[in-house]
């Protein structure tokens, strides 16, 4: 049963269960990466047999597999995937940046160019569940950014195939190539390249502890979006919230992973007790009851505070991945929220609406990193380059200022690079 605690009975930093990577994970991942670097495809095939329990004859999904998968998916679900993709595309299109040029004095031009990443690598989890939603959330911003090639990796099933809904989503989102790879070995393949898998410039997407650690270890060889931990939800609710709805929202994240954290913070003791009871009613109804119950009993909490102002302070300190404001007039509190991955406003806006359909991205910062990082966006798939142009007259007018600045830093050659141009006749 989930615990009910008075505010102050547990330190704020311990409200969410946030675990550091274990040493054995770090060592295991380092060894996997080493083997992929040294052996390429041979290591990948071996790891598929070891971890996915399947013997593959090819790593890449063939065109006919896409066609078969698309045909196998229920037509109504294809409609929903397309509608979700449209919503995601509409939201992320507003994030697209433009290059700019600024005019300086005497004809000088200064500018910034927005340049798409050439090759983007997408990791889509498999294992205990398939996530076509992650395909859409990762691929559509990359496509809008103008990436030259989008390469996706995802674990195969025991039949050696990728789940049909994942391939259907990849086709709808415009993924260029898909490989039957999961775990740390997939990250290593994207980072270093093998005979079959192209080396990419950036890797994005969530995964388990081994995937997260692999991303950590290859960072610098390639860029990454973030190091995501177990899923988190913080529900902020007042006494007017429906306990059945709040319990369902907590369980929507608890079923992800036994390490997930689902927490309610409220100013109502009555709501806390009602949600505690309702969780016990709903848990037995879940297909993933064992996972959800472990998460709720080990990591779940209900915190009762005196006022909603205190509740909002708790939310900002926790910087949750998902934050639901199940309160009257939620927009009154939105400006007070400084740290959260994604905010769900009102009693009719459950977190799964954002997971699948509304449009904002569901690849979000976890582990308190929402204090300084952001949801996945088009910005993750572009880089910026600057340029400077000074005509001769414009440069001669500032050359001695450049020289003075350089010499103040003790870098005479820098200054000489400027003043030597003054020695020539204009």
Using alpha carbons, list the distances in angstroms from residue 268 to 250, 303, 320.
Answer: 17, 10, 21
Query: d(Cα 186, Cα 42) in Å, to the nearest integer?
Result: 13
Cβ-contact 73, 168 below 8 angstroms: yes
Whether residue 105 lies in the annotated active site? no
Burial of 94 (0-12, 13-18, 19+ CB in 10 A): exposed
What is the separation, in whole angstroms, between the first and last Cα of the chain?
Answer: 83
Whether residue 322 lies in the annotated active site? yes
Q: How many CB atoms lie within 10 A of CB 73?
A: 19
Residue 264: φ, ψ to 5°: -110, 130
Cβ-contact 255, 282 below 8 angstroms: no
Q: Using only C-alpha atoms, what is the Rg of the chain?
A: 25
Q: Which residue among 322, 324, 351, 362 is the active-site one?
A: 322
Using alpha carbons, list the distances in angstroms from residue 285 to 167, 242, 259, 279.
Answer: 30, 19, 20, 10
Residue for token pair 């340049």: 115
Host H or E run for residue 3: strand 3-6
Q: Which residue among 278, 321, 324, 351 is the active-site one?
A: 321
Q: Please give the order of strands across the beta sheet that includes 301-304.
A: 3-6, 301-304, 261-266, 232-237, 322-326, 342-345
Host H or E run for residue 248: helix 243-254
**Alpha-carbon dihedral angle through residues 268, 271, 276, 282, given to the nearest 10 degrees:** -150
Residue for token pair 């690598």: 121
Structure tokens belonging to residue 377? 């966006």
Query: d(Cα 208, Cα 229) in Å, to the nearest integer?
Result: 8
Pairing of strands 382-389, 261-266: unpaired
Residues marked active site are found at 321-322
């Amino acid at each position: 049963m989930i615990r009910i605690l008075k505010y102050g009975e547990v330190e704020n930093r311990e409200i969410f269960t946030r675990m550091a990577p274990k040493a054995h994970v770090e060592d295991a991942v380092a060894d996997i990466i080493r083997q992929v670097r040294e052996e390429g495809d041979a290591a990948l095939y071996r790891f598929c047999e070891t971890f996915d329990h399947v013997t593959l004859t090819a790593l890449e999904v063939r065109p006919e597999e896409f066609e078969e998968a698309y045909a196998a998916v229920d037509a109504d679900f294809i409609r929903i995937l397309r509608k979700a993709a449209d919503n995601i595309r509409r939201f992320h299109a507003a994030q697209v940046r433009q290059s700019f040029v600024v005019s300086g004095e005497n004809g000088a031009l200064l500018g910034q160019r927005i340049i798409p990443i050439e090759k983007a690598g997408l990791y889509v989890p498999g294992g205990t569940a398939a996530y076509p939603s992650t395909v859409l959330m990762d691929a559509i911003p990359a496509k809008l950014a103008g990436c030259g090639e989008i390469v996706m990796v995802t674990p195969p099933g025991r039949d050696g195939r990728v789940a049909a809904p994942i391939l259907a989503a990849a086709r709808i989102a415009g993924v260029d190539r898909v490989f039957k790879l999961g775990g740390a070995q997939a990250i290593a393949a994207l980072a270093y390249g093998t005979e079959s898998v192209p080396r990419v410039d950036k890797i994005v997407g969530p995964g388990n502890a081994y995937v997260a650690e692999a991303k950590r270890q290859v960072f610098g060889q390639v860029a990454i979006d973030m190091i995501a931990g177990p899923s988190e939800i913080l529900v902020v609710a007042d006494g007017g919230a429906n306990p059945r709805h709040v319990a369902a929202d907590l369980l929507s994240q608890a079923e992800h992973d036994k390490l997930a954290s689902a927490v309610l913070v409220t100013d109502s003791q009555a709501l806390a007790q009602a949600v505690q009871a309702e969780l016990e009613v709903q848990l037995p109804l879940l297909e993933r009851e064992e996972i959800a119950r472990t998460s709720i009993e080990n990591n779940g909490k209900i915190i009762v505070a005196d006022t909603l102002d205190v509740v909002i302070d708790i939310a900002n300190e926790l910087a949750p991945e998902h934050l639901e404001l199940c309160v009257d007039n939620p927009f009154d509190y939105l400006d007070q929220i400084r740290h959260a991955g994604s905010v769900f406003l009102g009693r009719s806006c459950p977190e799964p609406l954002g997971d699948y359909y509304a449009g904002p991205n569901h690849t979000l910062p976890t582990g308190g990193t929402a204090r300084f990082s952001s949801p996945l966006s088009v910005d993750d798939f572009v880089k910026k380059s600057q340029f400077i142009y000074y005509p001769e007259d414009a440069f001669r007018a500032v050359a001695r200022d450049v020289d003075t600045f350089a010499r103040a830093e003790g870098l005479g050659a820098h200054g000489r690079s400027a003043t030597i141009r003054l020695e020539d006749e204009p």
